Amino acid sequence: MTKNSDVGKIGWFDLTVDDAERVRDFYQQVVGWKSEGVDMGGYQDYCMLPEEGGPVAGVCHARGTNEGLPPQWLMYITVANLEASLASCRALGGEVVRGARGLGGQGRFAIVRDPAGAVCALFEKA
């Protein structure tokens, strides 16, 4: 395990919805984000970008790896060791909603629910 200065920081936000194009267009008009398509193998999700700078969030279809996720903004929190964090989650009364999976060579993530019922993703960089 290497030292990672991003541990504990929020690294990303995704919004998973049935009609990603409509919601993409909503955020383009309401907050001024631009979008770039992300090929998901037969359909596109969207990477949302401010007028200047890099991507800040994703708007995703509720299918594929995102099927069954609630239509809410999901934050990704960077952790040093995903397996250790998932074990702590379970031991402290949380629930692993979706187990660990790869994220396009960038690392691995899992979705958890805390004891109060709030959902977030834990992300370990590659």
Count of domains forming the chain: 2
Q: Are residues 7 and 45 in the same domain?
A: no
Q: Are residues 126 and 78 in the same domain?
A: yes
User: Residue 122, class by beta-carbon neighbours within 10 Å (0-12 exposed, 13-18 middle, 19+ buried)?
Assistant: buried
- Note down the domain range covering 43: 19-61
pTM listed for this prediction: 0.88
What pLDDT, on the 0 to 100 scale, is given for residue 3? Answer: 56
What pLDDT, on the 0 to 100 scale, is given for residue 104? Answer: 78
Q: Are residues 8 and 40 in the same domain?
A: no
* Residue 86 domain-assigned (yes or no): yes
Q: Are residues 43 and 86 in the same domain?
A: no
Q: Are residues 82 and 44 in the same domain?
A: no
Whether the pLDDT of residue 2 is over 70: the answer is no
Residue pLDDT, tens place only, 9-61: 999 999 999 999 999 999 999 999 999 999 999 999 999 999 998 999 999 99
Residue pLDDT, tens place only, 109-122: 999 999 999 999 99
Among 103, 125, 79, 104, residue whose Cα is nearest residue 112: 79
What pLDDT, on the 0 to 100 scale, is given for residue 103? Answer: 82
Q: Are residues 98 and 126 in the same domain?
A: yes
What pLDDT, on the 0 to 100 scale, is given for residue 106? Answer: 87
* Residue 67 domain-assigned (yes or no): no
Cα gap 58→15, rounded to integer Å: 6
Residue 111, strand partner residues: 98, 121
* Residue 66 domain-assigned (yes or no): no
User: Residue 109, class by beta-carbon neighbours within 10 Å (0-12 exposed, 13-18 middle, 19+ buried)?
Assistant: buried
What pLDDT, on the 0 to 100 scale, is given for residue 1? Answer: 40
Residue pLDDT, tens place only, 64-107: 888 988 899 999 999 999 999 999 999 999 999 999 999 878 89
